[in-house]
């Protein structure tokens, strides 16, 4: 979770030219359709040699504008007195981030986990582009293949698979619901 909050940490706590522009450039990517972002992302994954690998499927999810936005909003609510107290105690920027901000960000991390898990679980287009190994395809692709390309569709198998596909996200939401809601709406520290 550390890596997901670093961009927000830099935007909130460091002074550099055009930092608001940098944030808005990151934020605008949330408004771009997946189809616009998928070409450049594919090129980066390909250049890194991550095609046909689990890393190639998951690493693009880590670079998340949603995470930057969520953490930025949270970090902006942290009192300046806390920053000053950490400085007085001799904490450098990374120690402040690791020892103060991250423990305070647990509910934001939980909310982000739920969002990213469901987003990743429901991926369809990205796995089709990045891998040709059917063992790495997500269950959504498997359901589609059960329906299309068959002369006789076994709807009982399709429906059972769809129910099984819904179980992991449902379990994650049920187990994390309290933290998810708190991470999205809570501003108490």
pLDDT, tens digit, 9 for 90 and up, residues 48-99: 999 999 999 988 888 888 899 999 999 999 999 999 999 999 999 999 999 9
Which position has the token pair 């690493």?
59
Which position has the token pair 């105690």?
89
Backbone angles phi, psi at 84, to 5 degrees: -65, -40
Residue 187: the pLDDT is 52
**Which tokens is 68 given?**
């930057």
pLDDT, tens digit, 9 for 90 and up, residues 22-52: 999 999 988 988 888 899 999 999 999 999 9
- Give the pLDDT band of residue 189 (cuts 50, 70, 90): very low
Residue 1: the pLDDT is 57
Residue 188: the pLDDT is 52
8-state DSSP, 63: S
């Amino acid at each position: 979770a550390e890596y997901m909050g670093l961009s927000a940490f830099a935007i909130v706590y460091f002074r550099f030219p055009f930092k608001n522009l940098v944030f808005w450039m990151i934020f605008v990517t949330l408004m771009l359709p997946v189809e616009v972002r998928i070409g450049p992302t594919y090129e980066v994954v390909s250049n890194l040699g991550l095609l046909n690998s689990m890393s190639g499927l998951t690493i693009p999810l880590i670079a998340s504008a949603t995470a930057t936005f969520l953490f930025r909003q949270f970090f902006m609510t942290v009192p300046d007195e806390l920053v000053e107290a950490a400085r007085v105690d001799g904490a450098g920027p990374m120690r402040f981030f690791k020892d103060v901000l991250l423990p305070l960000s647990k509910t934001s991390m939980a909310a982000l986990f739920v969002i990213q898990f469901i987003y990743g679980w429901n991926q369809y287009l990205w796995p089709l582009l990045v891998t040709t190994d059917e063992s790495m395809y997500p269950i959504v692709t498997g359901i589609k293949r059960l329906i299309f390309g068959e002369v006789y569709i076994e709807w009982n198998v399709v429906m059972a698979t769809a129910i099984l596909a819904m179980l992991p996200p449902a379990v994650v939401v049920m187990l994390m619901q309290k933290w998810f809601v708190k991470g999205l709406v809570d501003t108490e520290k």
